[in-house]
Structure 1
Amino acid sequence: MKSLLDLVAENIGFEKEGVRLFLKAINNGQELNQFILEKMTNNLVLAKNPKALSKQALHLSILVAMEVAQDDIYWENEDTVKVTKAKLFNIIDGNTLIRKYGQDLDLAFINLRGAQLKGADLRGVNLNNSDLQGADLERANLKGSSLIGTNLQGCNLTEANLFGANLTKADLRRANLRRAELRKAILNGTALRGAELWGANIWGIDLKDSFSEGVDLSRADTRGS
């Protein structure tokens, strides 16, 4: 499974020797301009993964790729590094990157609230314990994805492919799952209250361990469920 950092490096052509690449999330264009104008490249805390990035900004639409010499790193753990200085290498639209190249990507603990991921190829993605509340995932391909404990409240999953997805303890309350493909999905402890399942294919799905009380299944394909 590929990390977000590896994906960024691959897409911006980062292949320098003796330096490492890290990321910083920026909330908006104004904050980005301030970051650039004030040359805020010294004594930074930079991220190594989506979990750390999600603590830096409300969403990941703007990612700044920073190159750092090994000697300029004075502390690091599994999530972040502290550096004495860094150089801005590139600026990336995080949502667009994930939408295009999200297949088999490790995005556990990421914050993608309200993200525009319509038609995204997210086959096999790891979105465990992530926050995608209100995201637009219409016609997204999430086949075989892992969404354990993921917040999907109010998501637009119209015609999304969730074939074989692991939705254990995921929160799908008020999600739009009209005409979604859910065959062989795992829904143990999944919250479905208020979800729209009109025309959804839940053929053979075991719903007894999901919180589906009050969900209208009259127009879903429930054969074998």
Structure 2
Amino acid sequence: MELADHTRDPDRGWDERQALAHWAGICGPTAMDQYLHEFIKREVALRPDSEYRDWQRTLCRLIESAANYGMPMERLGLNSFAEMLRQSRNAEEGLLALHMACGSLTKAVIEIQWRSSTTFGAWFKRLQGQRAGPENTLAHSCLEYLNLAGCVLDFMDLFAARLNGADLRGASLEGAILWNAQCHETNLLGANLVGANLRDADLSKADLSKADLREANFSGADFLYANLADADLARAHGLEQAKNLDKTRNLDPEVLDEVKKAMVPRPKRD
């Protein structure tokens, strides 16, 4: 509301920096956990359609400002740099969490103008921190319906990340860890996934057309109704262990024949 007022009249409401400072004051002190996130998703779902659509557009503006220029933590009067960093991270993760709650309802991808192709990756790495085992931060679960087209995410840790419906057209994910990632209906048109680890990933209804999938690992990945038109699968690994490869769209028949041949047990030697 405040941002919308400011857009209509610069003398009223808040700009993005003022809105982020207010957001940080509310969401910075305590990190959001999965239970609170589930509660928020239920509450958002109770709101009118027009309301959470407006929220998603506003959140994309705030995410864009936070990632491109940082959070305005100096406005909060915190007593240490470490506390500024901690609360900034909590607030930024909260932006992703609420965006995901809205996006999962609208199924819409809103434009975000990243400052450079590496801006999102650098920002997200700060939010995810160093893992200690397989458990993910909340941020990994909140990447659905984000506009990440053209982003450079090479060798990114996206283990078990939720990327359903995200726009990754032309993105570079070379060597990325997408093991067990959820990529249902994700747009990966023309993406670079050379050497990526997609073991057990859900690629159902994903658009992988014209994607560079050379040397990627697809063991256990689910390709149900995925679009593989003109995708380069040269030297891809684990296709014989992939699921529903025969139910993809536009897969080169020669590739499928080669996979089927690899699945035929070789006769035992005496």
Q: TM-score, normalised by structure 2?
A: 0.52
Cα distance change, pair 99–153 in 1 and its aligned pair in 2 (3 A): farther
Q: CA deviation at 1:60?
A: 7.4
Secondary structure of the residue aligned to 1:97 is: helix
Aligned partner of 1:137 among 163, 173, 176? 173
1:131-189 deviations in Å (ceiling 9; x for gaps): 00000000000000000000000000000000000000000000000000001000000
Q: How does 1:73-152 map to 2 (within 5 A)?
A: 93-99=119-125, 101=128, 105=140, 106-152=142-188
**Aligned partners of 1:203 and 1:123: how far apart in 2?**
22
Stretches of structure 1 that go unaligned for 5 or more consecutive residues are 1-13, 37-45, 63-92
Query: Which structure ranks higher in relative contact order (CA pairs < 8 Å, sequence separation ≥ 6)?
Result: 1
Q: How does 1:203-218 map to 2 (within 5 A)?
A: 203-205=240-242, 206-214=244-252, 217=255
Aligned partner of 2:112 among 57, 60, 63? 57
Q: How does 1:65-76 map to 2 (within 5 A)?
A: none
Q: TM-score, normalised by structure 1?
A: 0.62
**Aligned partners of 1:113 and 1:17: how far apart in 2?**
27
Identity of aligned residues (%): 28
Higher strand share: 1
1:71-91 deviations in Å (ceiling 9; x for gaps): xxxxxxxxxxxxxxxxxxxxx
Secondary structure of the residue aligned to 2:27 is: strand
Q: CA deviation at 1:54?
A: 5.7
Aligned residues: 168
Aligned partner of 1:19 among 7, 11, 26? 26
1:164-218 deviations in Å (ceiling 9; x for gaps): 0000000000000000000100000000010000000112223111013436528
Write the letter of the residue equivalent to 2:263: G
RMSD: 3.8
Stretches of structure 2 that go unaligned for 5 or more consecutive residues are 1-20, 29-58, 73-93, 130-135, 265-270
**Aligned partners of 2:174 and 2:24: how far apart in 1?**
41
Q: CA deviation at 1:25?
A: 1.3
Corresponding residue of 2:233: 197
Cα distance change, pair 220–126 in 1 and its aligned pair in 2 (3 A): farther
Looking at CA atoms only, which structure, 1 or 2, has the larger radius of gyration? Answer: 2
**Aligned partners of 1:220 and 1:162: how far apart in 2?**
20
